[in-house]
Amino acid sequence: EPDDISIDEIQKIKFATMQARIGRSNNSVIVLEEDQNNILKWTSSNLIKIYTNRGYVVKLTGLKNELENLELDKFHPALSGNFDFDEEKIFTSFYTFDNPKLFRLPVKTKISFIREEEITIMGKLKKLKLFEEKSLENLISWDFINLLWVNKEGYIIKSKQSFTPKNPEIYLQLTKKYIKPE
């Protein structure tokens, strides 16, 4: 795995940041550009835009094949922040892709609690819950496994997520939290 971005480099940035990489690329810093009704829009230096809901990728643009929209199941824990379950749960979400166009592909996933883990992020030890989200049925036989490290507030702090069948996974790690103005 590539090295994490240094704490010094992150602290120089006055905005909310995440460490991100797609596939085997190096880690890079993405900066929060805006908050659109609790969907956070993060931007990289090469203008890749990553939109997240509570840390879950719901849109990604700037690549040849894009996730135009991910409509999460209304009970999906990334929407509610309610990851307080130990049994497996099944959800159906709808993916819309661009290049090639595919509108509202239904994808069933099963989310399972794996274990509690202590991991170090930005020099601080964090106690997180690890969940696995595994694809089940879909019309294009898209198989993936997402890994989600969730804090006690139900926010995804670290993840490995698949966002289209034509791109490698994205790895995200929250490095400087966004504090919403009152």
For residues 97-123, average pLDDT = 96
Size (the chain), residues: 182
Contact 138/108 with Cβ under 8 angstroms? yes
Going 88 to 55 to 158 to 94, the CA torsion angle's sign is positive
Dihedral angle of Cα 75, 78, 80, 84, to the nearest 10 degrees: 90
Cα separation, 87 vs 151, whole angstroms = 18
Q: DSSP letters of 34-95?
A: EEETTEEEEE-TT--EEEEETTEEEEEESSSSEEEEEE--TT-HHHH------S-EEEEEEE
Q: What percent of the chain has pLDDT over 70?
A: 100
Those residues with Cβ within 8 angstroms of residue 64's Cβ, 6 or more apart along the chain or in another chain: 99, 166
Q: What was the pLDDT predicted at 2? A: 86
- 40-94: per-residue pLDDT in tens? 999 999 999 999 999 999 999 999 999 999 999 999 999 999 999 989 999 999 9
Contact 157/16 with Cβ under 8 angstroms? no
Contact 73/93 with Cβ under 8 angstroms? yes
Question: Coil, helix or strand for 167?
Answer: coil
Residue-wise burial string across 78-110, b where 16 or more C-beta atoms lie within 10 A, e elsewhere = bbebebeeeeebebbbebbbbeeebeebebebe
Note the pTM of the prediction, 2 decimals.
0.95
